[in-house]
A = this chain, B = another copy of it.
Amino acid sequence: MLEHELVFALREIALLGGILGDVELSSSELGGILGISQQTASRRILELEEAGYIQRKPGVKKQLIHVTESGSERIKAEKEKYERIFEMGSRMRFSGTVISGMGEGRYYISQPGYTLHFRSALGFEPYPGTFNMQLNGAELNKLNILRNREGYTIPEFSTGDRTFGSVRFFRAEISGEPCGVVLPLRGHHKGVLEVIAGENMRQKLNLRDGDEARLTVFLDR
């Protein structure tokens, strides 16, 4: 049984008033609402109870079911996923795997031609080093969306030695910590999200190579 089956049943019980108090509900009634058999609906009710999403007690004819605090939280999380879709014009969530960079981030971030822009956009001094997230599979699509959005563009600049290419920059947030995401405008991307922040994010968030990290990028300036 898949999690979204469970959430769908939970939602329908909540919509009947189970979020406010006891709902008198037979398994055949629930089956009718969900478009499944009475037997499957009966099993679904047991699964919802096992998951801690509902509590039930015997009623006069049918059972009385109410949505628990944990069930309510689960529905809220689902609701937020739907809301996130319509926020995608202004913010996007990325999920990726923490990887080690090649130490190049430190070198680039320390270039005043970049640092000054980061500082003015973020409002703090960036820690000299990037936090890197490898995006995988379909998640890479979001990187393409990002590459086509405006963000802050930091123009190309030269030092005595060499030229530094133009990059695109977005404000972001990881576990509530403000940060920024930098995308080189030229060259082939390797599916890595480079994150700059005020502190060493690996230490701050206690993350290691291979851990999953989630980041929200703000698409507006």
Residues of A within 8 A of B (CB): 2-4, 8, 11, 14-17, 19-21, 23-25, 29-30, 32-33, 35-36, 75-76, 78-79, 81-86, 88-89, 92, 137-142, 144-145, 148
Q: Is the CB of B79 within 8 A of A14?
A: no
Q: How far is the CA of A11 from the CA of B85 in the complex (A)?
A: 8
Q: Is the CB of B11 within 8 A of A82?
A: yes
Q: Is the CB of A76 within 8 A of B86?
A: yes
Chain B contacts of A19 at CB under 8 A?
A: 85-86, 88
Q: Is the CB of A25 within 8 A of B85?
A: no
Q: How far is the CA of A8 from the CA of B138 in the complex (A)?
A: 16
Q: Is the CB of B8 within 8 A of A4?
A: yes
Q: How many copies does the complex hold?
A: 2
Chain B contacts of A141 at CB under 8 A?
A: 16-17, 23-25
Q: Is the CB of A139 within 8 A of B16?
A: yes
Q: What would 28 A/B residue contacts be, using CB atoms closer than 8 Å?
A: A2-B36, A8-B8, A11-B82, A11-B85, A14-B85, A15-B84, A15-B85, A16-B141, A17-B88, A17-B142, A17-B144, A17-B145, A19-B85, A19-B86, A19-B88, A20-B88, A21-B145, A21-B148, A25-B138, A29-B137, A32-B137, A33-B138, A75-B85, A79-B79, A79-B82, A79-B83, A79-B86, A82-B82
Instruction: Given contacts A24-B138, A24-B141, list 10 more A-B pairs with CB under 8 A.
Output: A2-B36, A3-B35, A4-B4, A16-B139, A16-B142, A20-B89, A20-B145, A23-B138, A78-B82, A79-B85
Q: How far is the CA of A89 from the CA of B72 in the complex (A)?
A: 13
Smallest beta-carbon distance A146→chain B, Å: 9
Smallest beta-carbon distance A118→chain B, Å: 26
Chain B contacts of A24 at CB under 8 A?
A: 138, 140-141, 144
Chain B contacts of A76 at CB under 8 A?
A: 86
> Known contacts A21-B145, A145-B17, A145-B20: does B86 contact A35 (CB below 8 Å)?
no
Chain B contacts of A33 at CB under 8 A?
A: 138
Smallest beta-carbon distance A219→chain B, Å: 10
Q: How far is the CA of A33 from the CA of B19 in the complex (A)?
A: 29
